[in-house]
Structure 1
Amino acid sequence: MTEDSSSRHPRAAAEAIKEVSLLVWGPNIRPELFARWSQGFIFSKDETTALIQTSGGPCAVIAPVQAFLLKNLINKVQYSQLREVDSTTVDQYLAVALTEILCQCKQPSTLGMQSGEKSNSPSHSSDNNSPSRLDEGPFEIACLDDPLPQTNDYLTSNPHEEEPPPNLSAKDYSLFHSSVRLRQFESIHTLQAYLESNLEKYKAQYGVLLFLYSVILTK
């Protein structure tokens, strides 16, 4: 943990997660609905910059992330060359997109006044990958310190094909929420650095939910 990040007290974190869970799911969770949302940010094998939705539901989170990712990519890469962007570069832009969305959730009024300035767009230049000059926190994100056991057959063969959601139960729902940890960052720079180094956790199962919770917590 860096000097610019901190974690909530376990009891306070558990209460915050409970509130977010109630806001998102209501008092009674439907296991099949939770299952449909339990995916990560997955890229297509055919279109390397295209995010995939494996089941109905999480498009509300995936679509804006896709939009921010492409917005930043086409500022640096010719449209005709998008298919040639390597996976490492795409992952870097995914981390930038997630960071920028959290930034806009935290400071909507400030960003709204400056939305016309091109320099405020996320930068992926060699000298500075910081998404913007607006670096005031705190930003709070939901994360998993340790990966949870994946449900059977989760994206084992063709994640780009539509398949029924994995068989998740109320037990999986409880395990997920009891395992979520909250981490706070005081600057965008350390937030993005964390997301870049822990991106695989958000590409794995439950990654979309972790980011959705992060948006709500930061907002």
Structure 2
Amino acid sequence: MDTSEDEPTALVQFEGGPCAVLAPMQAYIIKNIVSNKSVDDDWKKVEADEQNRLLCKAACDILCQATDGCDILKFVQIDDKGVLEHSQFHSMLKVEQVNKDSIETFFNNHISFMRDTFGVLLFLYTVMHSKGLVKLKEEICDLDEPLIDKEFGYGSQCLINMMITGQAVSNVFNNDQVVAGLKLQGIDKQSEVGFLTLLEHLRYCQVGTYLKNPCNPIWVLGSDTHLTVLFSFDQNLVSKETQADIARRTFKLFDQDGNNFISTQNLKPLLEKLDLVSDDEYVNLMSTKLDSEGLGIILMPSFMDEFFSEQETRTPDVFMLFHYNGQPRSNPNSKVTYIEGNAIIQESDVICIVEDNNLQSCLQSKWPYIEVQWKGGVTPSIN
């Protein structure tokens, strides 16, 4: 896990594949910067000791959330200090048990293991081994799907989710869903850092609010081949889940097709689930009001305006963003740096779709009317 000569806190990815570990690690490094600095501080200038501290803290964050409830963690390292060939790697592994309370000190004392040739794999094995194979198998939906693609080395969504949220599930929606009688596991709580994907723009999936609205204004971005990171110092871009967020999420449970409306017949169970008034007389009154044209449907905006209009949160109209891509070849002048952009939320009901701007398409899955002016006039690559 090497850092950039041009950006001391930015990890560099030299080959394709390890972004499923490196991008979440980068996101948690940034989390610890954003939590303690402001954009006005000289946050980019970091000495070697601080580099190591941020790397260790990020590793601890990822490991501890993946092993929630475990007091003893299993640290995987190489039983050899000399030069090791790739063919010898797995035969030289050893496992050391570490108390959870002392894991940060342990990482600080063994920082070299993450900096060495096999650092990414060793950390991945540490997370998996500490989480436990039994728990991994419970969360992974399809055991025939490898966590790492054997041909290209890409990480699966299970691996990405495990590194971001601690859950090795294959889906990105909120909570569990039942589809055609099959129970599918999703993300069960608001994550520390988020996830947005170009695949939502392409309608292959829909990311839930737990990942779209994380605890910190940091998102791992997924293209079809790579992972990058977007972040901001503006805490107003995220918030704890409000009653309006819960209502919107619950509404979608009755709108499995994503049409943004429900049948009037589902109004009563929806109100019951939200602990709102749900006696028959009131439900009939509200059905008539919310479905004034008698179409038999209730639109989400109408429902939210009626019951939660005063609780809606508003995203800032203007804010600063930063983008990270760990691959030198994907950066201007092949230098891995944080690229700054100024975002504007347009007052419009029309979404501007730019097919050759994958980054904007990805961001529009969270902010439909966003436009970003990137420093230098070049839109960063998410590939």
Counterpart residue type for residue 99 of structure 2: E
Q: Percent identity?
A: 32
Q: 2:14 aligns with which of 23, 30, 54?
A: 54
Is 1:85 the equivalent of 2:46?
yes
Relative to total residues, which structure has the larger strand share, 1 or 2? 2
Counterpart residue type for residue 70 of structure 1: I
Counterpart residue type for residue 181 of structure 1: K
Report how far residue 73 of structure 1 moved: 1.2
Q: Show the 5 A alignment for 1:203-214.
A: 203-214=115-126
Is 1:147 the equivalent of 2:81?
yes
Is 1:179 the equivalent of 2:78?
no
Counterpart residue type for residue 46 of structure 1: D
Partner of 1:65: 25
- SS for the counterpart of 2:43 is helix
Runs of 4+ displaced beyond 3 Å: none
The whole-number CA distance in structure 2 between the counterparts of 1:200 and 1:92 is 12
Report how far residue 58 of structure 1 moved: 0.3
Q: Show the 5 A alignment for 1:1-219.
A: 41-80=1-40, 81-107=42-68, 136-149=70-83, 172-187=85-100, 189-219=101-131
- SS for the counterpart of 1:194 is helix
Query: Does the C-alpha gap of structure 1 residues 145 and 77 become closer, same or farther in structure 2, counting only changes over 3 Å?
Result: farther
The whole-number CA distance in structure 1 between the counterparts of 2:53 and 2:129 is 23
Counterpart residue type for residue 50 of structure 1: A
Report how far residue 68 of structure 1 moved: 0.5
CA contact (8 A) 1:138 1:185 kept: yes
CA contact (8 A) 1:147 1:201 kept: no
The whole-number CA distance in structure 2 between the counterparts of 1:180 and 1:142 is 7
Relative to total residues, which structure has the larger helix share, 1 or 2? 1
* TM-score under structure 1 length normalisation: 0.56
CA RMSD of aligned residues (A): 1.6
* TM-score under structure 2 length normalisation: 0.33
Aligned length: 130
Report how far residue 53 of structure 1 moved: 0.4
Report how far residue 89 of structure 1 moved: 0.7
- SS for the counterpart of 1:42 is coil
The whole-number CA distance in structure 2 between the counterparts of 1:77 and 1:146 is 39
Structure 2 gaps, min length 5: 132-383
Report how far residue 102 of structure 1 moved: 0.6
User: Bigger relative contact order, structure 1 or 2, given CA contacts below 8 A and separation 6+?
Assistant: 1
